Amino acid sequence: MKKLIVYASVLILAACQKENSTLTEQQALTPAQAIASKKKETCDFLKGNYNSIRRGELFADNFIAGRGKDVDKDGIPDNVDNCKSTYNPDQADSDKDGIGDACETSTSIVTTPTVTSSSWLLYLDFDGQTVSSPYWNGGVPFYATPSGFTSTEIANILAEVTNDYAAFTNIKVTTDSAAYFAAAANRRQRIIITQYHEWYGAAGGVAYIDSWTWGLEIPGFVFSKALGYSQKNVWEASSHEGGHTIGLYHQSLYDANCNWLAEYNPGGNGEAPIMGVSYNQPIGKWWIGPTTSCKTTQDDASVIAAKVR
């Protein structure tokens, strides 16, 4: 049975806990009580075996079943991979020279999205940020250190998260702070990718449910050091935490008799839910499946699309 977290300052190292309240209830609370009543997902991907196998390491002997050798384990067979030794499942090739961007020696070019009144901005903040918010660290300001990634690694992570949200044309994923601040306050969300997780604890990331729409400066976090500085893990976690801030809960796993098996659905056969744990499979995707109960079905893509239309 899942446990409920009561206060936002309490660290729970088991999977994820939820805080639920209605707007009417929040209005009747003191400021401190209102903060504690917000819905938060503590994503502890370090518990159990959630990242014992990193994304792309699914197949034994570096072979994709029925498709041939895959040295970099990115799901693309070597005979058609434009960057055989570097993980690049998106096969991005900006200059169309047949060599994947992940193998180019020059720094990848990051473009700034055009922000309009209908834009929803997901800002991936890699360069460090002072956080002063009553929603985090008991209201005590702290400095979230830079991510520890190179500019090319940041571009790779940005490309993958952008790809995850590509179906939603109103959502723009960026590393440009100017684009973030140009967006409406209730249509923008910052995800801080930082090495510094000790202020919070042993978790892969954390975010408040639906904070993207609150119109407040309440970032979510992805902890790069805790995730082993793995680009794959970090982009999966960034998309996952972004999903929480737009209103998604975890895709969980139940058996045929409706017994709860796992907070994070691990997927299988080469794919897994982004809102479950998608490190272990080559493909992370938005999912349709049970969440807080076996009879509570969440269609991830429909929830996002309805929110950002």
Query: Could you write out the DSSP letters of every residue in the chain?
Result: ---B---TT----SS--B----HHHHHTS-HHHHHHHS-EEEE-TTSTTTTSS-TT--SGGGEETTTEE-TT-SSS-TTT-SSTTS--TT---TT-SSS-GGG-SSPPP-PPPPP-TT-EEEEEE-S-EEE--TTSGGG--EEE------HHHHHHHHHHHHHHTTT-TTEEEES-HHHHHHS-GGGEEEEEEES--TTT-S-SEEEETTGGGS-S---EEEETTTTTT-HHHHHHHHHHHHHHHTT-----EE-TT--EEESS---BTTEEETTS--TTSSEEE--EEE-SSTT-EEEHHHHHHHHH-
**Whole-number Å distance between alpha carbons of 84 and 77:** 8
- Chain centroid offset of residue 23 CA: 26
Q: Has residue 88 been placed in a domain?
A: no
Residue whose tokens read 């978790």: 203
Q: Has residue 165 been placed in a domain?
A: yes
What domain range includes position 165?
Answer: 114-247
Torsion of CA 120, 289, 271, 188, to 10 degrees: 10
Last residue of one domain, picked from the residues 232, 247, 262? 247
Tokens found for residue 297: 């079905």
Q: Has residue 125 been placed in a domain?
A: yes
In angstroms, the first-to-last Cα distance of the chain is 35
Q: Has residue 82 been placed in a domain?
A: no
* 281 Cβ contact list (under 8 Å, min separation 6): 55, 58, 266, 267, 268, 270, 271, 272
240 and 213 housed in the same domain: yes
Q: Has residue 150 been placed in a domain?
A: yes
The predicted structure's pLDDT at residue 82 = 84
Closest by CA to 303, choosing from 263, 253, 249, is: 249
Q: Has residue 168 been placed in a domain?
A: yes
The predicted structure's pLDDT at residue 33 = 57
243 and 253 housed in the same domain: no
228 and 121 housed in the same domain: yes
Q: What angle separates helix 151-164 from helix 231-245, to the nearest 10 degrees? A: 40
214 and 131 housed in the same domain: yes
Last residue of one domain, picked from the residues 226, 247, 268? 247
The predicted structure's pLDDT at residue 110 = 57
226 and 276 housed in the same domain: no
**Whole-number Å distance between alpha carbons of 147 and 162:** 18
**Whole-number Å distance between alpha carbons of 230 and 161:** 14
Domain count, the chain: 2
**Whole-number Å distance between alpha carbons of 22 and 295:** 22
The predicted structure's pLDDT at residue 1 = 36
Mind listing the pLDDT tens digit of every residue in the chain (309 residues)?
Answer: 333 222 222 222 233 333 333 333 334 555 555 655 676 776 765 443 333 333 333 333 333 344 467 767 677 887 788 887 677 888 887 767 677 777 764 444 556 888 888 899 999 999 999 999 999 999 999 999 999 999 989 999 999 999 999 999 999 999 999 999 999 999 999 999 999 999 998 889 999 999 999 999 999 999 999 999 999 999 999 999 999 999 999 999 999 999 999 999 999 999 999 999 998 899 999 999 999 999 999 999 999 999 998
